[in-house]
Chain A
Amino acid sequence: MPTQKTLAVTGNVLVAEAMRQCAPDMMAAYPITPQTTIVEEFAKFVANGRVHTEYVTVESEHSAMSACVGASAAGARVMTATSSQGLAYMWEELYIAAGMRLPIVMANANRALSAPINIHCDHSDIMGARDAGWILLFAETAQEAYDNTLMAVRIAEHPDVLLPAMTCLDGFITTHSIDRAQVMDDESVTAFVGDYRPTYSLLETDTPVSHGSFAGLGGPYFEFKKSQRMAIERARGVIKEVGEEFSKLSGRPFGMVEGFGMEDAEVAIVVIGSTAGNSRHVARQLRAKGVKTGVVKVRCFRPFPYAELAEMLKGVRAVAVLDRSESFGAEGGPLFLETRSALYDLHERIPVVDYIYGLGGADVKTEFIERVFTDLTDIATGAAAPSGLVYLGAR
């Protein structure tokens, strides 16, 4: 079993530590708040000779991901980190990284998108990239950000998967707050993540291979896309397998969805990221008063755990989805759309209400969560569900 030490550090420091332990061969670095301290921490590892990583200080996020694509195609273990506008600027490259089946691992500090400009937490940036073909893991805490990073490497590089993976943590709330977390010893991490063995590397100069070929004009573009879907479907099993192995090793749980009180919950909140903690806190208080509350945290957004979510929500009488991003013109936020779709095949029809909250780092107060549970209890006892979106705490 690994030796673990307990630290009191920020989420970003832990992500950088996890990256160091995974020993990337190449890292692309470009600053953007609130991600910057990840690449800054890593720069110290470079300066102190603690890593063999070639640290590439690119001139933009677009070049960050472009260089990562080149390096990954060359057979290197490759990492980078970004946030918000930076992720948006990479958008073109996100699809290319996934389409070329390159297991790049990237941290994203979840932050609002302009305009108006705002540097604080929400999930607009990452939800804009949700269909890019990446595996998306979300952290509630700094500990989960650390754990997710280690697992992301294993999942992305698995021969049945070979897809890029993003490990997402809430800007400032998780990236910059000092939290208590356990860190494994280097040897255990090395053994857990293993070596990356690329199938086709550009650096095998005796057996030249062309990457990024043209598949139009009646070529097999459609078939490539189908095989990409098959890969992310295979990732479901790999994520569970890797999660179980990691749980045994670390003593910490991992599920694509994780429930609180779901054994007997009558009303439940579905949530992503740091607000899961606030939700559990309120749910626990209400349980003490006899309200059968539950919270489902979605830790893996792509591939989306439809079956697991439906199984967990089965029997609940009313569900609230907390969305920290908009999908303008759609019926609700991204998590709402996925959740309601996941519940469609159940025999019972569960009312689902979408709450948009915390955009641009707007406060998430416990009374907001209380209000959500009150609404759900009313709906469960026969009140009409609100029609349309509910904005929690918008002035």
Chain B
Amino acid sequence: MATIKELSRREDRLEGGHRLCAGCGASIAVRQILLGAGETPVIASCATGCLEVSTTIYPYSSWKVPFIHNAFENSAATISGVESAFKGLQRAGKIPADKRVKFVAFGGDGGTYDIGLQSLSGAMERGHDMVYVCYDNGAYMNTGIQRSSATPLGAWATTTEVGKVGRGKSMRRKDLTSIIAAHNIPYVAQASISDWKDLTAKSEKAFAVEGPAFINVFAPCPRGWRIPYNMSVAIAKSAVQTAFWPLFEVVDGEWRYTKRSVNRENRAPVEEFLKPQGRFKHLFKPGNEELLASVQTEVDRYFDYVLKRCGL
């Protein structure tokens, strides 16, 4: 795995000057993922969303790799088409037989967990040589903070409002990483922008495998989470420390927990993750103690599930 020195010498493939918010987790995720790809040429697709609209305002583009945006729900299908074209053209002898290219699809949680799930599942099952990266910020941020199936239990969103009756999202989040692991593809991982070494290492592994790989990257959204822009990485770190977002990988079906310093005994209380975020403010109001406790129960349940899958 590359050291920070080596990584620092690699070309940044997402140029600065784009129009994402300060502190946006998506661009950090993309840069770390592309660093992990090494020197091999990469072709990227991206679902409609903040990342796409902010990086490709015609006639400008922040992408220093060939890039395609198609629509919201089909980042996976689109890059699967690009990869298939590569195979077909190579078979026809129109591209040199020794040319190597890597393919990566990006999508937010709305474009991945929800509307793009079918497209992603299909591409994973077909076995394309591609990496799918979900930057998970837990809501439809580009359209104005609507809940998605990645939105955590209890979170405020503009479609799970807090009021006299409403107490934020009443359902727990979908475990997309496990769903993709159930496709029995060579490599699946859950990572966070706060743990750059873990994330770039997972990216390297994902790009190295033959066939499909998937990485779910925790990527805070200051605007949607109601946090200061300089808190993104700290909040992401606390998601890992509280085990709200356990870091793990599934290599050829073998589950491996990659944040051994956080365990059942020493994980921080989830309040540390929730409290700085405006979207969870109501959980700390009198009368919502039970809801707050249920969030902790849900975090513990999921952490226990992940550790058990990892044989711990």
Contacts and interface: CB of A to CB of B under 8 A. Distances in A.
Interface stretch (B67-75, B274-282, B291-299): B67-75
B57 A203 contact: no
Interface residues of B, number: 46
A214 B69 CA distance: 9
A153 to B, nearest CB: 15
B260 to A, nearest CB: 37
A138 B100 CA distance: 41
A345 interface: no
Contacts of B77: 58, 62-63, 66-67, 70
Nearest to A204: B66
Nearest to B46: A212
Given A59-B121, A66-B74, A212-B69, A26 B92 contact: no
Nearest to B93: A52
B70 to A, nearest CB: 5
Interface stretch (B78-86, B156-164, B204-212, B248-256): B78-86
B63 interface: yes
Interface string B262-286: 0000000000000000000000000
B68 A28 contact: no
Contacts of B16: none
Contacts of A216: 53
Interface in B91-137: 91-92, 94-95, 101, 118-119, 121-123, 125-126
Given A75-B89, A208-B67, A213-B69, A56 B84 contact: yes
A288 interface: no
B81 A212 contact: no
Contacts of A75: 85, 89
B185 to A, nearest CB: 15
B1 interface: no
A31 to B, nearest CB: 14
A23 B58 CA distance: 34
A119 interface: no
B84 A67 contact: yes
B63 to A, nearest CB: 5
A75 B86 CA distance: 9
A70 B87 contact: no
Contacts of B65: 205, 208
B308 interface: no
Interface string A203-240: 11110111111111101100000000000000000000
A210 B73 contact: no
A63 B88 contact: no
B226 interface: no
Nearest to B80: A67
B61 interface: yes
Contacts of B89: 25, 74-76, 203
Contacts of B67: 202, 208-211
B61 to A, nearest CB: 4
Contacts of B86: 74, 203
A326 interface: no
A155 to B, nearest CB: 21
Contacts of A56: 80-81, 84, 126
B84 A71 contact: yes
B90 to A, nearest CB: 9
Nearest to A28: B81
A93 B77 CA distance: 12
Interface in B149-204: none
A211 B68 contact: yes
Interface in A182-216: 202-206, 208-216
Interface string B45-57: 1000000110011
B16 to A, nearest CB: 16
Nearest to A57: B126
B91 A212 contact: no
Nearest to B92: A52
Contacts of B71: 66, 92-93, 96
Contacts of A73: 68, 82
Interface in B21-63: 41-43, 45, 52-53, 56-59, 61, 63
Given A62-B119, A63-B77, A214 B56 contact: yes
A215 B84 CA distance: 28
Contact of A76 (B43, B85, B125): B85
A206 B119 CA distance: 29
Given A70-B70, A73-B68, A54 B82 contact: no
Contacts of A209: 66-67
A60 B122 contact: yes
A214 B53 contact: yes
Contacts of A215: 58
Contacts of B81: 26, 28, 56, 66-72, 74, 78
Contact of B63 (A67, A78, A92, A210): A210
Nearest to A93: B71
Interface in A90-124: 92-93, 96
Interface of A: 23-26, 28, 52-54, 56-60, 62-63, 66-76, 78, 92-93, 96, 202-206, 208-217, 219-220
By Cβ-Cβ distance, the 10 closest A-B pairs, closest first, are A70-B81, A59-B122, A67-B81, A25-B88, A54-B88, A76-B85, A205-B41, A212-B69, A74-B85, A66-B74
13 contacts: A25-B92, A26-B88, A54-B84, A56-B80, A63-B77, A66-B77, A66-B81, A70-B79, A93-B70, A203-B82, A205-B42, A205-B101, A210-B63
